[in-house]
């Protein structure tokens, strides 16, 4: 396996899968171990996840000191979420005794997707008619797993167009467990969509399917 060969990225993916029960049972201790392996190899998203798990005691004994260390490591490596986490208290410290408005990090989701994706859904007058060409990156057991997968892809491939519309939609059929479909696009052509798939398949370790979805 890639993780056995020392790939920090693969370890982070396996951590995500163990954390959310993708491909096997939920195992928080194993998830923490995979994330920690990737964190020690200098992988900023994994460093952030290790910090979160240490802060909450998820899969490991809680440790504020350990969490602070890994938040700092991720921030020093330029990871935006860690920087936000470490600088947020500075925004709410009292100054002259005036009432302070506490600013919380934006985590309002469109089916649990970040705010900055919503602007991509707004119509643009000069944009040609949507073709309904999307790619499906996963059919996950939980919304959080779908979010984690997309965030990992964005972290590892920052050249991806940040304004691509992204949706997580719940799907269920009689007698079967519900799933959450992670879809990206509207792409200008099937060729463009296939090129996007090729750019991320090695990272996500999941198939990427081109879909023509006129209904959404």
Task: Return the axis-axis angle of helices 8-20 and 44-56, rounded to nearest 10°.
Answer: 40
CB 167 within 8 A of CB 113: yes
Surface-to-core class of residue 174, CB atoms within 10 Å of its CB (0-12 exposed, 13-18 middle, 19+ buried): exposed
pLDDT in tens, 125-141: 444 455 678 888 877 88
CATH number of 115-212: 3.30.70.1070
CB 131 within 8 A of CB 187: yes
Ramachandran angles phi, psi of 169, nearest 5°? -120, 140
CATH homologous superfamily, domain 3-91: Tetratricopeptide repeat domain (1.25.40.10)
pLDDT above 70: residue 182: yes
Residues 6 or more apart whose Cβ sits within 8 Å of residue 185: 133, 134, 135, 164, 165, 193, 196
CB 169 within 8 A of CB 112: no
All structural domains of the chain with their residue ranges: 3-91, 115-212
pLDDT in tens, 71-126: 999 988 888 888 877 775 443 344 445 444 433 333 333 333 444 444 444 444 44
pTM: 0.59
């Amino acid at each position: 396996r890639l993780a056995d060969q020392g790939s920090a990225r693969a370890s982070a993916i396996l951590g995500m899968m163990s954390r959310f029960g993708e491909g096997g049972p939920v195992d928080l201790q194993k998830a923490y171990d995979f994330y920690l392996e990737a964190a020690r190899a200098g992988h900023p998203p994994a460093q952030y996840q290790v910090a979160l798990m240490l802060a909450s005691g998820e899969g490991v004994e809680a440790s504020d000191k350990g969490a602070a260390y890994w938040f700092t490591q991720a921030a020093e490596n330029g990871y935006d979420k860690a920087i936000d986490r470490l600088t947020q208290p500075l925004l709410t410290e009292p100054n002259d005794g005036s009432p302070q408005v506490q600013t919380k990090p934006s985590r309002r989701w469109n089916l649990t997707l970040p705010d900055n994706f919503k602007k991509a859904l707004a119509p643009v007058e000069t944009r040609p008619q949507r073709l309904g060409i999307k790619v499906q990156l996963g059919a996950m057991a939980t919304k959080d797993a779908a979010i984690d997968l997309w965030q990992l892809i964005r972290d590892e491939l920052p050249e991806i167009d940040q304004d691509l519309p992204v949706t997580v939609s719940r799907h269920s059929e009689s007698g079967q467990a519900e799933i959450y479909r992670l879809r990206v696009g509207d792409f200008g052509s099937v060729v463009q969509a296939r090129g996007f798939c090729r750019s991320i398949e090695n990272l996500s370790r999941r198939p990427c399917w081109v879909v023509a979805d006129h209904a959404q």
